[in-house]
């Protein structure tokens, strides 16, 4: 059996039949089966468009009414896509670029500027910000929870800085888990495969009066990916196909409680703790006798969050949220500990003339401690950072239920650039109940990170050999580094054309200024070390614009068959400013210009589910990554109501294919292999 699964000839022969069955199974089925208790799959398109979201305006509104480019990934989508991680689930959203770097790392962004250290996308989990102040990005190998407890993932493409603050530049991803009241009972699941070598998880939810609670635990081990075609060791021999030693393992547990204290007050408490490791490969192929260095990042941490909601008699709503987050990471380059404390207060304000106004205040404090095994990494081993911000947003119903205008701004003070203003103006028009036109103008900034200002590293130290006297290259941050700026123009249109077809279109034009560059900062000969040296420093000498188009469509020909499709197109026009001698790659060299997806969910008789996902990504210029098409198949069966069995086949078209990586930026090319896993879930 294992030989058949790994044999590409088997899949090439079987694939056309599987695809035909997946997309046409419903046409030959006499009986249709509706999954009982399935919150999303049983919904009509009209009900799906009325799903309540909160990320666009920080208050509940219908998905169809939102004046932003938003896409919702539901719990049903996560299950039927076969995703085992949050990054893999994000592939379903238009305008989001998701690329595997290795078995435990991803390059993820919205509307371009992708990379291992992508820094223009803000990610939240139940209101807790997941970005690291070290480089303004996300360590995806530590972001996890029990996927069955995720209610939905709200994905906003475009700026969300007016409500969410700095670094919500090109998009916001808001991961929202179910309340404890919606996750009662016991769920135990486990499985294994050739890459997902073993995983298990369990959750129990209970109730005491108006007090609901749940606890969970999970763990997994993912095997290493194979090397790509351009990976070499110190013998200069290709390592194509061999084990890349980038395995990943993690264990975590957590809880959530929701207490309805009274008709006016509710209290939520939740927390997580985790530990694990992610092996990695560091590229020193340009240095003699070094080649590839194998390392392991030990990761651990925990968090706790509390949120109180109060409704006043006159309808005013007050929310107070506090959280503490601790992360620790130990790897070859550095050992880092980081503590974050955050207080967030939000309240609605009653105003006349059909207005809905929200104001908010946030204070965040972060402290870190960094030590390094290198000659140097940062110019100070510890740093304390403060963010103080407030926002106001007013929604004015010019014509109730038809035309509304939304105006607001974020006002923020940070330790790097001082005071920042991030306003937005949005307009939404519903000429009919099943159509929405919207437009927006927004300003957002990415404030400097710890690395932008405090980096102090010798990334390459080339020893002398032969007639080459050697050279030391030094990379340094800048205390004069400015915020990267965006002015975005967006328009969109949604239509629920019939009871079976809906379409969502968004177009954008983004103007960027003061983008980060790496500029020469002197060179010469050091008579102490008897080496030539060349210094580089971060500056803001790049600007330009991008523009693009994103589409998402849904077809529900029958109650038991749903088809989703997305398409994204992106074009760059970014250039270095006059006088720049930038050494960084251009942003357009990291992101595909086109992406396409097609997903089919079919409910067959006898409680059988047959699901197909197709993902296409254009080429990535900088790393010479060719375009690829990925096809995943899932077969699910519920022999009884409390048992769910599934078989997942992934990346069926190739033995292995690259998605991101190469010889630049310390990345080594590993490739995504064909894989499979089986899973069994017990629900009581």
Tell me: pLDDT of 357 over 90: yes
Q: How many CA atoms lie within 13 A of 13 on its CB side?
A: 6
Tell me the C-alpha distance between 591 and 109, whole Å. Answer: 9
What are 117's strand-pairing partners? none
For residue 40, what pLDDT band results from cuts at 50, 70 and 90? low
The pLDDT tens digits of the residues spanning 61-78 come to: 888 889 999 999 999 999
What 3-state DSSP class applies to 304? strand
For residue 113, what pLDDT band results from cuts at 50, 70 and 90? very high
Tell me: pLDDT of 7 over 50: no
Q: Higher confidence at residue 115 or residue 605?
A: 605
> Which pLDDT value is given to residue 350?
82
> Which pLDDT value is given to residue 115?
87
The pLDDT tens digits of the residues spanning 389-403 come to: 999 999 999 999 899
Provide DSSP, 322-333. Answer: EEEEEEEEE-SS
Residue 387 has a CB neighbour count (10 Å cut-off) of 19
**What residue ranges do the domains of the chain occupy?**
2-299+315-338+345-411+423-683
> Which pLDDT value is given to residue 44?
63
Tell me the C-alpha distance between 105 and 138, whole Å. Answer: 10
The pLDDT tens digits of the residues spanning 205-243 come to: 999 999 999 999 999 999 999 987 665 554 455 566 688
pTM of the predicted structure, to 2 decimals: 0.90
Question: Among candidates 559, 465, 481, 485, which has minimal Cα distance to 518?
Answer: 481
Name 352's Cβ contacts closer than 8 Å, sequence gap at least 6: none
Provide DSSP, 390-422. Answer: EEEEEEEEEETTTEEEEEEEEEEEETTTEEEEE
Tell me: pLDDT of 36 over 60: no
Residue 28 has a CB neighbour count (10 Å cut-off) of 7
The pLDDT tens digits of the residues spanning 472-522 come to: 677 888 889 999 999 999 999 999 988 899 999 999 999 999 999 999 988
Tell me the C-alpha distance between 447 and 119, whole Å. Answer: 10
Helix (H) or strand (E) holding 277: strand 265-284
In the numeric block, which tokens belong to residue 137?
A: 């990005």
> Which pLDDT value is given to residue 23?
42
User: Taking a C-beta distance cutoff of 8 angstroms, is the pair 429, 403 a contact?
Assistant: yes
**What are the CA-CA distances from residue 517 to residues 444, 450, 587 (Å)?**
19, 16, 11
> Which pLDDT value is given to residue 10?
37
Q: Higher confidence at residue 370 or residue 274?
A: 274
The pLDDT tens digits of the residues spanning 432-463 come to: 999 999 999 999 999 999 889 988 876 555 55
User: Taking a C-beta distance cutoff of 8 angstroms, is the pair 170, 157 a contact?
Assistant: yes
* Mean pLDDT for the stretch of residues 26-31: 36
> Which pLDDT value is given to residue 616?
97
Q: Which CATH superfamily is domain 2-299+315-338+345-411+423-683 in?
A: TonB-dependent receptor, beta-barrel domain (2.40.170.20)
For residue 37, what pLDDT band results from cuts at 50, 70 and 90? very low
Mean pLDDT of the chain: 86
* Mean pLDDT for the stretch of residues 49-56: 80
Measured in whole angstroms, the distance separating CA 336 from the mean position of its chain's CA atoms is 22
Measured in whole angstroms, the distance separating CA 368 from the mean position of its chain's CA atoms is 24
Give the chain's end-to-end CA distance (angstroms, integer): 32
User: Taking a C-beta distance cutoff of 8 angstroms, is the pair 496, 504 a contact?
Assistant: no
Helix (H) or strand (E) holding 45: helix 45-49
Tell me the C-alpha distance between 417 and 412, whole Å. Answer: 10
Question: Among candidates 485, 479, 471, which has minimal Cα distance to 450?
Answer: 479
Least confident range from 23-32, 192-201, 310-319: namely 23-32
Tell me: pLDDT of 4 over 90: no
Tell me the C-alpha distance between 655 and 11, whole Å. Answer: 10
Q: Higher confidence at residue 112 or residue 585?
A: 112
Tell me: pLDDT of 331 over 90: no
If phi over 0 gives left and psi between -120 and 50 gives alpha, with beta otherwise, what is residue 423? beta
Tell me: pLDDT of 2 over 60: no
Tell me the C-alpha distance between 43 and 536, whole Å. Answer: 56
What 3-state DSSP class applies to 258? strand
Q: Which CB contacts under 8 angstroms, 24+ apart, belong to 7-15?
A: 8/654, 8/655, 8/674, 11/652, 11/653, 11/674, 15/631, 15/652, 15/653
């Amino acid at each position: 059996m294992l030989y058949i699964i790994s044999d590409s000839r088997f899949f090439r022969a079987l694939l056309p039949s599987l695809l035909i069955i997946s997309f046409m199974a419903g046409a030959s089925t006499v009986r249709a089966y509706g999954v009982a208790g399935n919150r999303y799959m049983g919904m009509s398109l009209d009900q799906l468009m009325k799903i309540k979201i909160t990320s666009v305006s920080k208050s509940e509104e219908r998905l169809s009414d939102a004046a932003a480019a938003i896409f919702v990934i539901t719990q049903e989508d996560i299950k039927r896509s076969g995703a085992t991680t949050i990054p893999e689930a994000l592939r379903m959203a238009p305008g989001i670029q998701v690329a595997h770097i290795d078995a435990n790392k991803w390059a993820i962004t919205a509307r371009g500027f992708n990379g291992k250290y992508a820094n223009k996308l803000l990610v939240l989990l139940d209101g807790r910000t997941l970005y690291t102040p070290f480089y303004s990005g996300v360590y995806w190998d530590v972001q996890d929870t029990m996927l069955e407890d995720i209610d939905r993932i709200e994905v906003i493409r475009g700026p969300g800085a007016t409500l969410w603050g700095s670094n919500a530049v090109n998009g916001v991803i808001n991961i929202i888990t179910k309340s404890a009241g919606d996750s009662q009972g016991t769920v135990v699941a486990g499985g294994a495969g050739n890459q997902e070598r073993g995983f298990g998880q369990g959750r129990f939810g209970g109730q005491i009066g108006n007090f609901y609670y749940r606890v969970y635990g999970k763990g997994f081990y993912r095997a290493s990916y194979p090397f790509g075609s351009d990976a070499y060791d110190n013998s200069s021999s290709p390592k194509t196909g061999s084990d890349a030693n980038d395995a990943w393992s993690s264990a975590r547990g957590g809880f959530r409680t929701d207490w309805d204290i009274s008709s006016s007050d509710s209290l939520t408490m939740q927390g997580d703790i985790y530990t694990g490791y992610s092996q990695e490969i560091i590229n020193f192929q340009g240095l003699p006798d070094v080649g590839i260095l194998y390392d392991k990042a030990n990761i651990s941490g925990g968090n706790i969050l509390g949120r109180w909601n109060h409704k006043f008699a006159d309808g005013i709503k007050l929310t107070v949220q506090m959280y503490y987050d601790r992360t620790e990471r130990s790897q070859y380059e550095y050992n880092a500990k980081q503590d974050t404390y955050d207080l967030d207060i939000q309240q609605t304000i009653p105003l006349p003339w059909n207005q809905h106004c929200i104001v908010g205040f946030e204070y965040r404090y972060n402290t870190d401690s960094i030590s390094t095994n290198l000659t140097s990494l940062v110019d100070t081993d510890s740093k304390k950072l403060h963010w103080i911000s407030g926002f106001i947003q007013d929604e004015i119903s010019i014509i109730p239920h038809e035309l509304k205008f939304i105006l607001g701004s974020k006002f923020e003070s940070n330790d790097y650039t001082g005071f920042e203003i991030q306003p937005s103006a949005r307009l939404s028009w519903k000429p009919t109940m099943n159509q929405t036109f919207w437009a927006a103008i927004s300003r957002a900034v990415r404030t400097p990170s710890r690395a932008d200002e405090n980096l102090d590293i010798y990334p390459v130290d080339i020893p002398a050999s032969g007639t080459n006297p050697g050279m030391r290259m030094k990379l340094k941050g800048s205390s004069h580094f400015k915020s990267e700026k965006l002015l975005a123009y967006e328009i969109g249109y949604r239509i629920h054309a019939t009871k079976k077809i809906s379409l969502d279109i968004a177009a954008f034009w983004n103007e960027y200024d003061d983008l980060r560059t790496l500029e020469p900062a002197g060179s010469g000969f050091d008579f102490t070390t008897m080496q030539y040296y060349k210094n580089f420093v971060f500056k803001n000498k790049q600007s330009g614009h991008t523009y693009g188009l994103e589409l998402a469509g849904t077809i529900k020909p029958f109650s038991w068959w749903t088809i989703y499709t997305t398409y994204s197109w992106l074009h760059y026009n970014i250039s270095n400013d006059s006088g720049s001698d930038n050494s960084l790659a251009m942003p357009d060299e990291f992101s595909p210009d086109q992406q396409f997806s097609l997903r089919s969910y079919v409910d067959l008789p006898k409680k059988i589910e047959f699901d197909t996902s197709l993902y296409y990504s254009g080429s990535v210029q900088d790393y010479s990554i060719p375009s690829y098409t990925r096809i995943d198949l899932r077969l699910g069966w519920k022999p009884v109501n409390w048992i769910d069995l599934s078989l997942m086949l992934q990346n069926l078209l190739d033995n292995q294919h690259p998605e991101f990586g190469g010889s630049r930026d310390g990345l080594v090319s590993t490739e995504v292999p064909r894989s499979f896993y089986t899973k069994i879930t017990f629900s009581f």
